[in-house]
């Protein structure tokens, strides 16, 4: 778990949010009791939320007229 978490930190340093999320997700699956891993997984999960198809369907109900984009 610690190695995958370290991989996630390296991915974050390289601005690879998807890679970081994947690594932290793996680490969390291996050790869900580590609070730092849990936080990193949750935060990277939030950064990718805008790409979630379910959120895109709800977007107009909240008054957003343009699609969400992650840049």
Find the angle CA(6)-CA(12)-CA(15) to the nearest 5 degrees.
Answer: 150
Q: Is the overall model pTM greater than 0.85, yes or no?
A: no
- Distance of alpha carbon 49 from alpha carbon 51, whole angstroms: 5
Residues 49 and 69: beta-carbon distance below 8 Å: no
Provide the pLDDT for residue 49.
83
Asked if pLDDT for residue 6 goes beyond 80, the answer is yes
Of the segments 4-8, 15-19, 49-53, 62-66, which one has the largest average pLDDT value? 4-8
Asked if pLDDT for residue 14 goes beyond 90, the answer is yes
Q: What is the pLDDT of residues 22-47, one digit of tens each?
A: 999 999 999 999 999 999 999 999 98
């Amino acid at each position: 778990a610690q190695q995958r978490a370290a991989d996630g930190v390296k991915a974050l340093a390289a601005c690879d949010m998807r890679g970081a999320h994947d690594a932290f997700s793996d680490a969390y699956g291996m050790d869900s009791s580590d609070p730092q891993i849990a936080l990193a997984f949750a935060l990277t999960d939030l950064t990718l939320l805008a790409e979630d198809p379910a959120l895109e369907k709800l977007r107009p109900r909240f008054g957003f007229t343009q699609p969400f984009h992650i840049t």
